[in-house]
Each structure stands twice: as structure tokens, then as C-alpha cells.
Amino acid sequence: MIQRLKKLAPQPLKQLIYKLLKLKVFCSVYYRDAKRFLSHSSMVSHRGRKENLRSLIAIDYHRLEKGLALPNPKPAFGVAIVDRLVDLLTDYLSRHGPDWTIKDAVLSLNAYFERYGEDAKLLKARERFEIILGEAYPDGINQKVDAISFLSKEDHQKTLDFDFASFYHSRHSIREFSNEPVCDDLIRASIQLAMRAPSVCNRQPWKVYSLSKPEKISKLCQIQGGSRGFADQISRLLVVAVDLSEFYMVGERNECWVDGGIFLQSLLVCLHANGLGACPLNWCVSTAVDEEARSLLGADPGHNIIALIAVGSLKDHIKFARSERRPLDDVLIKVE
């Protein structure tokens, strides 16, 4: 019956129906993305959640760090930020106790109060901070640790004393691996190094799911569909995701893709630097496919999947697609 109706229906009607069906899918996907962002971000206050509270703390203490790093910061700048950060830290301590979140923020506040703590506008906040300091560092804080670091131009130039262009050109998407298993220490080292990537307000919202069991790797590769012909050679599959709880306003609705993309490229370069072959696998999938993968991973509902990375040990002779790049003038747009 359906086939007969398709034959009888005029072409303009068919095109209209197809457009409406595509619009329905489009709307359902964006509705689902919006619902996830609202449910897991801090846009509608979720300060009872550890992750959301942590992101708000990171935003404010990084504001102080940035202010202290300016050429000529104003005396006692950001009083409102300091008051709010002390409130947030007090709340966090009462709910979750001291951990790395508290200690990072405390170091920034301590550096701030060392410079401006005698200002009358900051006396009450400083008194409250002393209580937090005692809980976060009961044995005392290392006074050598500051929120601001310094590097001479000469030392900076020494870090550039290698052929970076050759190194960067030597990274390729590898789809052919040896049978040698991937060392877990190299994966950990690569992720640790990739975490030097910049992120909005230094919130570092990244999550990496690491799969090593062949059956799970095979299943996820089938779901993704972009590794045909080499999926059976993948000894480690990394799933790069971003935690939506790190974002707090509608203007950050797309920030997960920005921060996630920066981290993805950093991780690819770090895997290459550690002697591993890697190939990014895009995550341009339907809602149903995304949910199937999330179920397989046991992924947190607030984690947005950015991409997959197939990882393996290199063969003695490496084959890869040449993948020439566009002319620079097609990319660079000069604004006068």
C-alpha cells in the first residue's frame, strides 16, 4: 500500500513530505541537545551537584588568576568576585570536604590576599578565608606556591629549540597498526600531557573513556561506522567527551564542542609524541546511535561525546593517506 501511494503521489508532494520529515528529525535532535544542556549544566542552578559547584569555583578563581597576571592589576580588584568565591568555597567544603578543587582555588585566593589583604574592603572576606585555609591546608600552605608563574624569554626560547614544523608534519591519521599491545602508561601520559590544552576559564571539562576489550571496541566501531577495514587492528579506543556540568549560561551552549575539539587535537599530537599511531573518528551520528553508544559505555548522562580515537602501536613501515591541505590563501582572511 505504501509503495503504491509513493508511486501515485505527485513529485512536489513527495518533496514536501521529505522536507517535513527532515525538519522533524532536526527539531527532535536539537530538542534533545537543549534538554541535556538544561538538565546537566549550571544554567538553571544545580549548586547541590559537586560538578556544577566545582565549575563555578573554577570560573571565579581563574578570574583572579587572570587579573593577577595582568601587567598592572588594579589594587584590590575584583572584590565582588572574592566575596562570591569565598561563599562558594564555604558551600563546597560543607557539602564535599577539601579536595583538589578547593586547593587550586585556595592557592589563588592566598596569592590575592598576600598582595591586597590589608585593604579595608577585603578584611571580612580575609577572615572567612582563614577558616577555609585551615580546613583545606591543616598543616599549612606551601608559601613557595603562587597563582602566578614566571618564565624568562631566554628560557622560553630554549623550549622551542627543535624542529617543530617537521614534528607536526610527521603526524598522520594512521589506520594500520601492529599486533603489539598499547602500553597503558603511554595512554595515561598522553592524556595527562593533552590536559595542558586551554579551556574556557581553565575549567578542563574533558572526559576520556578508554576501551581495551576487543568485543567492546568492535561493537563501538560498528556503531560509529567509520573504521571499516581496520577496526580489528585497533587495540585501544578512546572516546573523548565533555562534561556539560562545567557550563553555566546559554552563551556556553556550544562551548563543549570548542573545548572538546581543542583537547581532541592536543591528544592526537600527544599520542603521536609518545610513539603511538592514532586516527580520529568523527561522531556525526543520529540520536539513536548516540544513545546506543552511551549505553555501551555506561556514559554519564551529562557527558557529550565529541569524537573517538583509534589507537595502536606502529608497524615498522607506516602507510597513510597523503591528505594534502588547501592553499593558505583559501583559509587566511585578512581584515583591514
pLDDT digits (tens, 9 = 90+) for 69-116: 999 999 889 999 999 999 999 999 999 988 888 888 998 999 999 999
Q: Are residues 32 and 170 in the same domain?
A: no
Question: pLDDT tens digit string along 283-323?
Answer: 999 899 999 999 999 999 999 999 999 999 999 998 899 89
With 0-12 CB in 10 A as exposed, 13-18 as middle and 19+ as buried, what is 314? middle
Query: CB under 8 Å to 32, separation ≥6 — which residues?
Result: 287
Q: Are residues 160 and 245 in the same domain?
A: yes
Tell me the pLDDT band of 2, cut-offs 50, 70 and 90.
low
Domain annotation covers residue 204 = yes
Domain annotation covers residue 333 = no
* Of the ranges 134-143, 146-155, 265-274, the best mean pLDDT one: 265-274
Q: Are residues 275 and 307 in the same domain?
A: yes
Return the minimum-mean-pLDDT range out of 15-19, 43-47, 112-116, 322-326. Answer: 43-47
Residue 23 has pLDDT above 90, yes or no: no
Q: Are residues 29 and 59 in the same domain?
A: no
Q: Which residue has the higher pLDDT, 116 or 8?
A: 116
Q: Are residues 96 and 189 in the same domain?
A: no
Q: How far apart are alpha carbons 75 and 119 in whole angstroms?
A: 9
Q: Are residues 126 and 248 in the same domain?
A: no
Q: Are residues 305 and 184 in the same domain?
A: yes
Q: How far apart are alpha carbons 6 and 171 in whole angstroms?
A: 50
Q: How far apart are alpha carbons 58 and 288 in whole angstroms?
A: 34
Q: Are residues 115 and 178 in the same domain?
A: no
Q: Are residues 122 and 271 in the same domain?
A: no
Residue 306 near residue 260 (C-beta atoms within 8 A): yes
Q: Are residues 121 and 94 in the same domain?
A: yes
Q: Are residues 304 and 174 in the same domain?
A: yes
Q: Are residues 263 and 292 in the same domain?
A: yes
Residue 49 has pLDDT above 90, yes or no: no
C-alpha cell recorded at residue 76: 584590590
Give the per-residue pLDDT at 4. 65
Instruction: Calculate mean pLDDT across residues 164-182.
Output: 95
Residue 144 has pLDDT above 70, yes or no: no
Structural domain boundaries, residue 21: 9-40
Domain annotation covers residue 322 = no
DSSP state of 173: B
